[in-house]
Structure 1
Amino acid sequence: MPPQNLPPRDAIRRAAGELFVRDGYAATTVRAIAAAAGCDPALVIRHFGSKEGLFLATVSVSGDLSTILAGPLESIGRELVRYVLEGAESPVAGVYRAMLSASDRPEIKERLRASIHDVFVGPLAERVGGAYPELRARLAAAQFAGLINAFWLVGDPALVRGERTAIITLYGDAIQRLLTCEDPTH
């Protein structure tokens, strides 16, 4: 059913966001978006140029990491792991899955890279000490993304059924080590 009382552009954005998150990039068609928005497919293209343009205009992976990344530096690792464990069915998990499923497209891959930098690496690198703050933040982001992939994409049964406290402690401390350990010596 089309969203009521929304200008066509807003109705298209809302419908596209819902469909991309629910069905993924490949399975979502311009026709399906137009039908859900109550408009003609040509109007979708007129407003956004392409399916890829619409995807980029509607999907963001930011989630609510800013609170965690601004929190006490000494507990960020465990808080990031807790975020992943508690968020498997959240809207941000659906957005992440949609973004990753479309990451074979160059513009979307670049948006994903930029989002990782803007949302995670940049804010964290400003707070991490040592000689390698950006490297530390990027490595922590890579570890964080690995856990997201294991839980939100693959649904690794051993991890999903695993003891939460052990996962939070073990993996959280591994991320934490990247952020707070001594710099390597040459």
Structure 2
Amino acid sequence: MREKEPGLRARQAARTRERILAAAKERFAEGGYEGTTVRAIAAAAGVDPAAIIRHFNSKEQLFFEVLDRDSVWPILNDTPDDQLGEQVIRVWLQDWEGRDREPLLALLRAACSGGEIAERVRHAFADSALDYLETRIAPDEFREERLALVAIDIVGLVINRYVLLLEPLASMPAERVVELLGPRLQQHLRGPL
């Protein structure tokens, strides 16, 4: 019987972790990062607040784990270089439109207020999108500028389409956005600057 205990504990810990993640996703969607407390997440998950710290170290780490669960970048692995700009926009839009956007919007709002969250968002964006795209951009002396321009395009698209709801962008069909923005992103990634 004792041999099964470690396995049982690991399964229980994994279930607790999943409950915390599910509760955190809901709480962050409703209250944003600043308006959500560890106690509120713990209550929603049916755990002690100490369990959140034990599993995730901090509210910030939990927040980023909620956001990092589904990376869209591996989908682009087989995309030819000459189609990369359009495919990045297409995949980005599918990701934003295919899931609950509230936690992502909460992240953007928190990032816009500055401080540690803004710094963490910069690192998270660099560690995911930009690190992935760095291997795909034109191999020239403009790498840093190219990555900055890509960040402007992607973050600008998200803010204007989903936060500001700027028309006609907010209601434009996704493929039209791809058609309009894809060539610009392609230029930043692979074209002459």
Return the TM-score normalized by structure 1.
0.76
Query: 1:170 is matched with which residue?
Result: 180
Contact 1:61 1:96 in 2 (8 A): no
Deviates more, 1:121-130 or 1:86-95: 86-95
Aligned counterparts of 1:177 and 1:46: Cα–Cα separation in 2: 46
Which residue of 24, 36, 44 maps to 1:36? 44
Deviation at 1:136, TM superposition (A): 0.8
Aligned counterparts of 1:124 and 1:47: Cα–Cα separation in 2: 31
Q: Give the AA of the match of 1:119.
A: S
Q: Give the AA of the match of 1:32.
A: A
Aligned counterparts of 1:62 and 1:15: Cα–Cα separation in 2: 17
Query: 1:117 is matched with which residue?
Result: 126
Query: 1:77 is matched with which residue?
Result: 85
% identical equivalent positions: 32
Check 1:21–1:61 CA distance in 2 against 1; reply closer, same or farther (3 A cut).
farther
CA displacement 1:147-176 (0-9 Å, x = unmatched): 111222222231133355443222111111
Contact 2:72 2:92 in 1 (8 A): no
Aligned counterparts of 2:98 and 2:150: Cα–Cα separation in 1: 22
Query: 1:99 is matched with which residue?
Result: 107
Contact 1:121 1:134 in 2 (8 A): no
CA displacement 1:56-97 (0-9 Å, x = unmatched): 454338631232265212112112222344344433744421
Number of residue pairs aligned between Structure 1 and Structure 2: 179
| Structure richer in helix, relative to its length | 2
Which residue of 143, 146, 171 maps to 2:156? 146
Deviates more, 1:40-49 or 1:129-138: 40-49
Contact 1:26 1:101 in 2 (8 A): no
Contact 1:61 1:115 in 2 (8 A): no
Check 1:13–1:6 CA distance in 2 against 1; reply closer, same or farther (3 A cut).
farther
Contact 2:67 2:103 in 1 (8 A): yes
Contact 1:97 1:153 in 2 (8 A): yes
Aligned counterparts of 2:100 and 2:77: Cα–Cα separation in 1: 16
Superposed, 1:30-69 pairs within 5 Å as: 30-41=38-49, 43-44=51-52, 48=56, 50-60=58-68, 63-68=71-76
Query: 2:190 is matched with which residue?
Result: 180
Query: 2:6 is matched with which residue?
Result: none
Aligned counterparts of 1:178 and 1:125: Cα–Cα separation in 2: 12
User: Unaligned regions of 5+ residues in structure 1, if any?
Assistant: none
Contact 1:62 1:115 in 2 (8 A): no
Deviation at 1:139, TM superposition (A): 1.0
Which residue of 167, 170, 173 maps to 1:157? 167
Aligned counterparts of 1:124 and 1:48: Cα–Cα separation in 2: 28
Give secondary structure in 2 for the equivalent of 1:167: helix
Check 1:93–1:40 CA distance in 2 against 1; reply closer, same or farther (3 A cut).
same
